Structures are given as C-alpha cells and as structure tokens.
Structure 1
Amino acid sequence: MKRTWSYLIFVLVGASISLVWAVTMSNPAHLNWSTWAYSDWLINYDTGFIRRGMSGWLIQSMRGGEGDVSAVNLLVFANYASLSVLLMWTWLRSRARNPAAIALAILVPGGLFQMAIGNAFFFRKEIVFHIALGIDCILYSAIARTTVMAEARKLRAAWVLVLLFAAQSVLMPLLHEAYAFISFPAAWLIARRVAAMFPQQRALGRIVKATVLVQIVMFVVCAMFKGNPEIANQMWHTLAPADRSLISPDSPAVPTGGISAIGWSTSFNLAGVLHMFLAGQFWIWGFAGAGIAGVLVLVTLWNGRGYGLADSEMLRRHMAQLGFLFLASTPMYLLGVDWGRWLSSVTISYLLLLFVDGGASVSPPGVLQLVPQRLRRRVSGAFDFTAQDVAQSVSISTGRHRKALFLLALFFCLTFRAPECCMTLGSPFYRLKPVLEQIFR
C-alpha cells in the first residue's frame, strides 16, 4: 500500500510538470503566463549595470534566433522541472519517506502543485534560488551520511559545497536582491553545519562567515544601482518591439511589468506595503501563513520519525529552523508587496531542508544570543520550557487525530489559493465558493 501511494505521488508530480509544459514548451513562441514576470526576466545590462540585470544578459546570450519568448519559456520550464526533481530526490533520500507527508508538501499552497494548477510562482526568479539550495541539500546529504563516502572524499565534498555556496552568494543577488532573504538563510544553515563537521578545517568556517558580509555588500550594491524611471524607460526601448507589444499591447511605448519596477523608489514600495496593512482583506495573509505553518507541522511530524528522537524534540528543532527562515525573510515583507511569493519561498526552502535533515542536526543561531546577558539567564529557562511544552502538546494532539488532521490539511491545500500579491485575484477560496453556493441553494 505504501508503495502504491508513492507511485501516486510521482504521478502527481508528473502531472504538475505536464501542466507547466503545456503553458511553456507546448507552444514556446507564445506567452501563456505572467507578462510582469516575463518583463522581469528581460532586465539586462544594455543601459549599464543595474540590479536584476543578469537574467536578461544570460537570455540574450542563449536565445539564438528563436526570440526571447522561446528562450524564456525553455528557461522557466527547465527551472520548474529541476525544482520538482530536486524536491523528490531530497524526499527519497530521507529516512522515513512518508507518502502522506510528501503529498501535503506537494499540495501545500505555494508548493509545486499549486504553482502548476494556478499558473503562478513557477515563472519567478526565486525558482533558480531553490534549485541552488536543492543542489546544496544533495551535497549535504552525501556528506552527512557517513557510510556513503570515505572521510577524505567527505572533506572534498565539503569544500565543494562551501565554495559553491560562496559562489551562489555572489551570483544569485545579481538575479534578484531578494536572494539574501529567501534561499540564502537555508543554504547558510547547511554550509554552517558542514563547516562545523570539520573543525580542523577552519577556512571552511571563515568562508561561511564571510558570506554574510558578502550578502550585505551585494545588497548595498543592488541598492546603489537600483535604477530610476529614466533607466527603466531606456531599458524598455532596448527590448524588441515584439516583446514590448507582448508585455503591454495597449501601450507598448510605456514601460510596464518588472522593468517598470526598476524605476520605483523605496518610498513607493513602502507605501504599497502600508496599503496592504490598511486593506480590508489583510486577513488573507494571516490565514495563509497559519494554514501553511499547520501543514508544515504535519509534514514534519510524519516525515521526521525514525531518527531516534522523540516527536516533541524533533518538532521543536525543526520549528526552530522554520522560525529562523521566516524571520530572515521578514525584510521582504516590508520591501515588497508580493507576500505570497515570500511565503512560498520560505515553504520550499524549509521542505528541502527538512527532507535532508530529518534528524534536525542543522540548528539555527540561538535567538537568546540577541538578548542582553543579564536578562538571558532569566528568560532562557522559561523559553526552553515553553517551546518544549508546546511541541509536546502539538505532537500528542496530532498523534491522536492523525486522519482527521490529514483530511483537514488536504481540504485546505485543495481549496485555498495564496495570491502572489496585491489582493486583486478575488477570494482565496475560489475553488470552494461554487461548491458552497450549490449546497446552500
């Protein structure tokens, strides 16, 4: 029965990849997804060095004679397919391989299935960040398993992982400065853990620490070359006329989409976030965050067993990881209104980390280190007790109501849609609303 459910999971992933194929490579000369995201991919260096410009430069190098749409469709599909394979690969390398856990991990709002069926998220640049993180996770999994390779080979693999992570720290912000808050925190935790496994190789630890400074420098560089309306207008007119008409058919002479965002000021972005707080539908984001967190708790409990830890301790450790990833992403909630994207990114990062670290040996820095030393002694005991007590209560409750909670989580995953941003897509329960209307009639 377990094998049958595993086959169904692969069918679900295959169907998701097929849906993305249908809107990308089945007709690569046409754009069947977000014109905004397509414009974002085309940001380039034709007007000089600018943030997010590396993607357009790479596309110009690879497109040949087929045009930008074909090249970007190929890139977007390859990104989604690669992420799907990496997520399944990391799950297959986990010790438990619980089918219910991977089913919820795929169906969770902002996850692989909702990306495909909702025609959302999969075309964003952060998918490249998740792929880089997935590769880091695969390397970490090979290093952490002592029976896989000899000590000398493990050390070489550790150097490969840390140097690859360092290269990612420099290159990924050139695609999008949000890397510092999206995938970097999870990759940093992995690299930090690998460096700690080889204390005699102090250079590994120094490189990992230096990447934090690198991210600060890269973010400052992106802020210095953030662009303005004049640069956005110049860049817009360097695009092919066919691309401008495709992105903005009604006014092809006026910059729009991701390129227009190059001209936005920081105050404009902050004003958009303030509007989010004042909007009447703000509850959607709180509900989405709580629901996704609940699903991740179930995934963690059901796929984390078999590592010699009590459920409560295992849950506490993994929730510390999730909390760290969320806290690291919070600056993006102030800098951009695409809150659905940030929730999706944290979810994918956590799932990749969970599947290769079921024993929760990758630990985030202690939050209590930020508390003054005098208060730390008073708070630490109560803090540890509260976290352990909550984790124990949750693990006991989920054990008693396993089937009911799975059905509730499945219902949430199949009916709730987390919008990418802006609250303009209607009710997040758009799949459920017609059914309820028929019932109450």
Structure 2
Amino acid sequence: MIQLLLNLAEKIDSQCRAYYRPLIILLCIFAFINFSRVGYTLSQNWNGWTIGDWILNYQGGFIRRGLLGTLLISVGNSFSMPLNDLTYLLQCTVFVLFLLTFIYLIRNKEINFWYLILCFSPGFLLFNYYDGMSVGRKEILIYMLFAAWCVLHERAQPRLISIAIFSILVFVLTLTHEMVLFFMPYFILVGYSSCAGNSSQGFVKLLMPAVASFAAVAVLILFAHPISEPSMCRIFTELGANEKVCNGIISFGSDASIGIVWQRLIALDPLIQLQWLAFLPLIVAPIYLCLHFVKHKELDGKKLLIIAAFLIMATAPLFLLSIDWGRWIAIHVTLSAIFIASHLPRLAQLSDERNAVANRMAWRLRVGQSNLIVLLTVGLAVLLLDLSYSINHCCANNLIEPFGPLKKLFMTLKPYVNF
C-alpha cells in the first residue's frame, strides 16, 4: 500500500513539483499575515497567555520563565515603549525569522508531494490559523532556534565555537521556557544524522546543547521561587500593564501538584483516548511517507519508529502537567517538518523545475485518462484529509475538531459573503 502511494506521488511530482515551493512560500506569507493580525489583537487586549507569559520577570525574585520579561522591561524603559507593543514586535520578528530560515532550508531542495501535504497539515503553519489562541506562544522561539540549528548542520560540520555559542542560546532559551528541555531530542537527532562517522566531534555536538538545557533546568529547580500571583500581578500593573494580563499564566497556576496530575490521569475518558488514536496516524503518516520517500540512509523504517517513540515519550511530562495538548502536538509536527526540510535531497540542477514546467503539457499527452483520474482522486483525497480535522491548542476534551478547517474558512468568509 505504501509503495502504491509512493508511486502515485511520483507521478504527481512529475507534473506538479515546480509549483510546490511557490505554494509553500505563499503558505508562509499567509501564516505571517494571520500571525501578525491575530497577535496584534491579543496584544492590545493584554492577553494573559500571549503577553503575560512573555513579561514574567525577576523584579519579585528569581522565577522560571522570567529572563525574557526582565530584558523586555529594560528595553521598554529605554525606548519608552509599552510592554504589550514591544512583546508583539518581538513575537512578529521571531516568527518572520523562523519563516525565512525555513524558506532558506527548502530553497534548493526537491520537495515531494508528501512533504507538501505535511506543510499544509493542521499541525504546522496553519495551526495558528485554525486556533487563534495559539498565536504568540513561546514555542516560536524553539522553532527559530531549531531551524537555525538545522542550517548550521546543513553544509559542513559546525566548529566547536559555533556549538558553544548555540549551547549558550539554548541555556538562555530554557530559562525563558523550560519546555525546551523536553524537545532537545530533536536537536540531538539533527546532530546524529549529520555527523555519522565522526564519533568524537559528534559526541560533543550531541551533548553540548542538551547539557546546557539540563543545566538551566537544574538552576531553576535549585534556585527559582514559585510564581506569586498577587505579587506578579502588582508588578505587571506597576509597569503599566492592563489588569487583564493577570488572567493567564499567573492566575491559572504555575506549579502542577501530584494531586492535579493524578486527577488528569483518571479523567481520561474513552473519547480522549479515541482522539489520541485518531491524531497519531493523521500526523505521523505524512512524516513517515516523507522520510520513506527521501530514503535517508540514517533513518530507515525501524529506526524511524524507534526515534518517533522516543521523541513522543520525551515530552510525556508536558502532556501530564499541562492541558495544552494541541500545542505539544503542533510542536512535534513543526519540528519534524523542519527536520525533514533539512534532509530533503538537493536539486540535481537548478533547471529541473523549469524543465518540469516545460514538459507539463507533454506529460498530459502521455498519461492515460484512467491514470489521470487516479492521480486527481488521490490528490483530492489527501486534500480532504487535511481539511477533515484541525487541532485545538487546548483542551483535552476538545483536542480534535472535526472539519475544523472548513468551519474556520466559513467563519472567515461569512462577513464578506452572503451565504
């Protein structure tokens, strides 16, 4: 069955490959427009998650996630700029840098049909469109850093000084959000796949960023104080923030107790378990097909399954301690898409795409009517698959939204079209 799908994809590629990269670039442009539009609204409303999580600071003592907020306050005071506007500007800058780095990764790669489908899946760039409350979260920092890490490994073995500087950035980013530690296996995977055969240098390359992230978490465990809601809210308002910013990260509760974790475990009803069974093949299948199609020498089928299981298990604490399951799923999909982009084969010649366009009409004449119907049917089926569901950033009881993309499209067009 997989071979049949791959053969069909190859036929689609022979006709349409020249359009894949422009489509992905248009998707990136759309993603940024949506991000900036929704992010601006959330910032002006002083959203407690989109803004509050970014401006946590050390004015009341050393706490987790407070480093970035402390820096933002310092910059805001220097330029007399409101914190919500400064945070919004930083978010847009980070997101556009991530998109530009991603485009750089695919600039000279042979993009295949399954990778195009992965890019348009609800767990990647369209995730912010389907669920606006996911806009402006700190995972965009991980995306940018991971994309830069892939670029660093793309051409040559990075020098030790480059890895050391990157490890410092990982340490700083972990102080900004501790979830960085749980996604460090992706960074290790990039090092492993790019430095096979160079054991000594590869060993350092694999360990340095991970050690830096572990060190940052150790500092937080040993020295960080719990976030005090009244104290932090008072600091926010003294800095000129609207009181609405307190209704988010600091009011929800920063530290999950064992009792809360146990309650969440026993609350997993059959519906949630069914959703887990549903999203796993929907998300993992395109990733598997992409890597199978690329046939990367370091990632055969068995290795891929082992690696995928390990990557998911590494983030298990996030699923237990937080109800933002959709966000964790989207991070997995996004990091996987970035990783695959760095391992797509390079174009043999820069004229390949122009040749594909020139031969498009000739291909149409050669292909039989029955084959064309099959190709169109498969393409339509995969498109409908991407439109059949979306992922909400939260919460467990509403993780999968059936036909979410179609509902979102309807709500977007409703003000402009008289249905």
Shorter-chain TM band: 0.7 to 0.9
**Corresponding residue for 2:257?**
266
In the other structure, the counterpart of 1:414 is 387
Q: Is the 8 A contact 1:300 1:354 kept in 2?
A: yes
Greater Cα offset, 275-284 or 132-141: 275-284
Which of 235, 238, 246 aligns to 1:238? It is: 235
* Structure with larger RCO (C-alpha < 8 A, sep 6+): 2
Distance 2:197 2:118 in 1: 29
Report what 1:30 is aligned to.
Answer: 44
Change (3 A) 1:93 1:319: farther
2:185 alignment counterpart: 185
- Taking the aligned partners of 1:206 and 1:97, their CA distance within structure 2 comes to 32
Q: Is the 8 A contact 1:41 1:56 kept in 2?
A: yes
Shift of 1:5: 3.9
CA distance in 2, matches of 1:6, 1:134: 17
Query: Using a 3 Å threshold, how does the CA distance of structure 1 residues 3 and 345 change in structure 2: closer, same or farther?
Result: same
Kindly provide the CA deviation profile for residues 301-328 of structure 1, in whole angstroms up to 9, marking residues without a partner as x: 44x15x6x69xx7444444443332222
State the partner residue of 1:164: 165
In structure 2, what residue type is equivalent to 1:422? C
Q: 1:332: which partner in 2?
A: 318
Amino acid at match of 1:57: T
Deviates more, 1:265-274 or 1:292-301: 265-274
Aligned equivalent of 1:97, options 105, 111, 125:
111
Partner residue of 1:209 out of 207, 210, 218: 207
The answer to whether residue 281 in structure 2 is matched with residue 290 in structure 1 is yes
Conserved? CA contact 2:57–2:65, under 8 Å:
yes
Contact 2:390 2:405 in 1 (8 A): no
User: Which residue in the other structure is 1:4 paired with?
Assistant: 19
Residues 110, 344 of structure 1: 8 Å contact kept: yes
Gaps of 5+ in 1: 144-153, 248-254, 360-400, 436-441
Please name the residue that 1:377 is paired with: none
**How far 1:51 moved relative to its partner?**
0.6
Deviates more, 1:123-132 or 1:34-43: 34-43
Distance 1:43 1:341, change over 3 A: same
For residue 119 of structure 1, the aligned residue among 111, 132, 150 is 132
Q: Shift in Å at residue 7 of structure 1? A: 2.0
Instruction: Please list, as runs of the form range in 1=range in 2, the aligned pairs for 1:73-112 lying within 5 A after superposition.
Output: 73-94=88-109, 96-98=110-112, 100-112=113-125
Q: How far 1:112 sits from its partner (Å)? A: 0.6
1-structure distance, mates of 2:51, 2:261: 24
Contact 1:165 1:191 in 2 (8 A): no
The C-alpha deviation readout for 1:189-235, integer Å capped at 9, x for no partner, is: 22345565544xx4663464355444434323323455436x23211
- In the TM superposition, what is the alpha-carbon distance from 1:125 to its structure 2 partner? 0.8
Q: Unaligned 5+ residue runs, structure 2? A: 1-15, 346-373, 409-419
| CA shift in 2, pair 1:402/1:224, >3 Å | farther
Residue by residue, what CA displacement relative to the aligned partner does 1:404-433 show, whole Å, maximum 9, x if unpaired? 555444323223121212246586115378
**Structure 1 residue aligned with 2:69:** 56
Task: Tell me if the contact between 1:107 and 1:414 (Cα under 8 Å) persists in the aligned partners.
Answer: no
Q: 1:128: which partner in 2? A: 141
Identity of aligned residues (%): 18
The code of the aligned residue for 1:30 comes to Q
Instruction: Name the SS of the counterpart of 1:428 in structure 2.
Output: strand
Q: Please give the residue correspondences for 1:60-75 in structure 2 after superposition, counting only pairs within 5 Å.
A: 60-63=73-76, 64-75=79-90
The equivalent of 1:378 in structure 2 is: none
Map Cα deviations across residues 45-87 of structure 1 (whole Å, 9 max, x no partner): 1111111111211221333322111111112222222222222
Deviates more, 1:84-93 or 1:173-182: 84-93
Structure-2-length-normalised TM-score = 0.75
Are 1:84 and 1:112, in contact at CA under 8 Å, matched by a contact in 2?
Answer: no
How far, CA to CA, are the matches of 1:52 and 1:30 in structure 2? 22
**Aligned-pair CA distance for 1:124:** 1.2
Separation (CA, whole Å) in 2 of partners of 1:206 and 1:222: 24
Show the 5 A alignment for 1:421-436.
421-423=394-396, 428-429=401-402, 431=404
